[in-house]
Amino acid sequence: MKHCFFAVDLGATSGRTVVGSLDGGELKTEEINRFPNRLIEVQGHYYWDIYELYRQIVEGLKAAGARHIGIASIGIDTWGVDFVCVGKDGHFLRQPYAYRDPQTVGAPQEFFGRIPADRVYELTGLQVMNFNSLFQLDTLRRNGDSALAAADKILFMPDALAYMLTGEMVTEYTIASTAQLVNARTRRLESEMLTAVGLTEGNFGRFVYPGERAGVLSKEVQRQTGLGTVPVIAVAGHDTASAVAAVPARSNDFAYLSSGTWSLMGIETQEPVINSETRALNFTNEGGVEGTIRLLKNICGMWLLERCRAGWGECAYPELIAGAQAATPFRSIINPDAAAFANPANMEEAIRQYCKDSAQPVPETREQTVRCIFDSLALRYREVFDNLRRLTPRPLSALHVIGGGSRNDLLNQFTANATGVTVYAGPSEATAMGNIMLQAIAAGDAPDVAHMRQVINRSAPPAAFEPKDGAQWNEAYSRYLKVLETYTPKGN
C-alpha cells in the first residue's frame, strides 16, 4: 500500500502544506495550501502569530481529510532559533518573539561578559548571531520578561506546533542545534549554557532525533480534520536541515546553498569543525540527519530583494530578473551582510545610502537595485565558498543550490561565474521533499538518506550552470573585497 506523507514547511515569510509519496521509484508531491507568515509589530516588538500558523496547518489537514488522502504521518519544519514559553498549565504565555526583534541588538556582548565567546564557541560550535536563542533567552532574563519568568517549558517553533497537534512536548535535535544551547560534540543540551540563562533540561521536552515519533494527533484535531490517530514524526525540524537532506548529489564532493530569505552555504561533515579559523570566520556547526554536522555560514539572501519588493508593491520576480539582466554589471557592490540591511524601514534606501557612503554610483532604478543585489550576493557566495575550500580537505567540485532561490536562473549563473564551479540548481521544493523523505525513512519506505538523494535526483533533476566570464568576475571580486576592507557603513 502506498503511503502518503503530510509535510508542514514554514519559512520566515510564507508557509505551506504538501503531501508526497514514493511512486515507481520517484517522489511525487502536491501542495495542499499556501499562506503568508507575517511579522506582527506591537509597541516596538516583532512577534510571530503561532495561532494563525496552527490554524493554517489544521486547514491543510482538513483539506487532505476531505479528499480522503490516507496520511501515514505528519512532519513539521520551520526556521530556526525562535521559541514559545509554555506555562505549568500547558498554555502558551504569549506569542513568540521573532528573531528580527531589535531587543537582542548587542546581546552577545552582554552574555560574553559572563562566559567568554571562545568558551561558548568551543562548547556549541555555533556562529555568533545576536538573535540566537541563547541570546534571546538571556535578554529576556535580564529584562525580567514575565513570560520567561513563568515558563515551565521552552518549545522551539516546530516542536510547539507539534505540541498543539498532539499534546506531547519534544525537543528535536536539529532545531535545538540552532539555539546555541546544544553541545556540538555530544549532540545534547549543554548544561553550562542552560545554567547561564537560568534553565535546566527539565525546561525542555523529551529530546528526540530526526525520524522519531513526537506523538499522534489529539482527539480534538482528529475531530476537526476527520483524520485518525496519525503520528507526527519529528523530522529534521530546522528547515535547512530538511533541505540539505534533499540535496540531489551523486557524490560527497559538494557544497550546498540553501537559498531563500536566508542563504545558507556549507558542507556536511561527520564531526563538528571547531577551531580558531572557523571561529574567526564565524562558521556554525548545526545538527544534520543521520549523525552529520552542517558546517555552514548564514548569508543574507533574498531578504534584500523581498524587502525592496514590499516597497514596490510586490513586483513580479520575472520582470525584476529580466530588468537586472539588462542592467550594467558591477555598477554598485554592497556587503549583503552589513548590519544596515538587517531590518531597515526602507531597504531600497538603505542600499542607496550604503552606495553613497562608499563613494559608488547610487542605484537610480529598480533594475539597477536588483542588479546590485544579485551581483553582490554572488560575490558574497564566492567569499564563503573560498573559505569552505580552506576548511575541508576534500575537493569541492560543485555547488548545489536548493530552495526557492534555485529558480532564479540569473543568480544561479552569476553564482557559477563567481565561484568558478558548476552550479546545480534544484529542487526548489527541497525542504518539503526532505521533510517527506525523512517521514518515508521512518515508515520504512526508504532505507537511508543516500537512497533518498538518488530518488530526489530522479524525481527533480537539477539544472546545471557552468561558469563563464571568469576574468570579469575575478576583477569584480577584487572590488568587492576592497569595499569590505576599506569601508564600514554607518550603523555597523
pLDDT confidence of residue 251: 86
pLDDT confidence of residue 491: 42
* Mean pLDDT, range 191-211, rounded to an integer: 98
pLDDT class of 443 with cuts at 50, 70, 90: very high
pLDDT confidence of residue 489: 53
- Shortest CA distance to 112 belongs to which of 99, 125, 128, 100? 128
pLDDT at 431 over 70: yes
**Look-up: residue for cell 537539477?**
462
Task: Write down how long the chain is.
Answer: 492
Cα separation, 160 vs 92, whole angstroms: 9
What is the percent of the chain with per-residue pLDDT over 70, rounded to a whole number? 99
Cis peptide before 427 (omega within 30 of 0): yes
- Shortest CA distance to 12 belongs to which of 238, 197, 229? 238
Q: Per-residue pLDDT tens for 134-152?
A: 999 999 999 999 999 999 9
Domain 249-426+462-492 has CATH 3.40.50.40: no
Annotate the chain with three-state secondary structure. Answer: CCCEEEEEEECCCEEEEEEEEEECCEEEEEEEEEEECCEEEECCEEEECHHHHHHHHHHHHHHHHHCCCCEEEEEEEECCCCEEEECCCCCECCCCECCCCHHHCCHHHHHHCCCCHHHHHHHHCCCCCCCCHHHHHHHHHHCCCHHHHHCCEEEEHHHHHHHHHHCCCEEEHHHHCCCCCEECCCCEECHHHHHHCCCCHHHCCEEECCCEEEEECCHHHHHHHCCCCCEEEECCCEHHHHHHHCCCCCCCCEEEEEECCEEEEEEEECCCCCCHHHHHCCCEEEECCCCCEEEEEEEECCHHHHHHHHHCCCCCHHHHHHHHHHCCCCCCCCCCCCHHHCCCCCHHHHHHHHHHHCCCCCCCCHHHHHHHHHHHHHHHHHHHHHHHHHHCCCCCCEEEEECHHHHCHHHHHHHHHHHCCEEEECCCCHHHHHHHHHHHHHHCCCCCHHHHHHHHHHHCCCEEECCCCHHHHHHHHHHHHHHHHHCCCCCC
* Mean pLDDT, range 477-488, rounded to an integer: 88
Cα separation, 279 vs 286, whole angstroms: 14
pLDDT at 492 over 50: no
Question: Which residues partner with 21 through β-bridges?
Answer: 28
CB 288 within 8 A of CB 245: yes
Positions marked active-site: 239
pLDDT class of 486 with cuts at 50, 70, 90: confident
From the candidate CATH numbers 3.90.70.10, 3.40.605.10, 3.30.420.40, 1.10.40.30, the one assigned to the domain spanning 4-238: 3.30.420.40
pLDDT confidence of residue 244: 96
CB 104 within 8 A of CB 141: no
Cα separation, 455 vs 237, whole angstroms: 21
pLDDT class of 131 with cuts at 50, 70, 90: very high
Cell of 195: 545554567
Cα separation, 446 vs 361, whole angstroms: 54
Cα separation, 318 vs 279, whole angstroms: 39
Q: Per-residue pLDDT tens for 94-120?
A: 999 999 999 999 999 999 999 999 999
Q: Per-residue pLDDT tens for 329-356?
A: 999 999 999 989 988 999 999 999 999 9
Q: Per-residue pLDDT tens for 38-76?
A: 999 999 999 999 999 999 999 999 999 999 999 999 999
Every domain range in the chain assigned CATH 3.30.420.40: 4-238, 249-426+462-492
Q: Per-residue pLDDT tens for 401-416?
A: 999 999 999 999 999 9
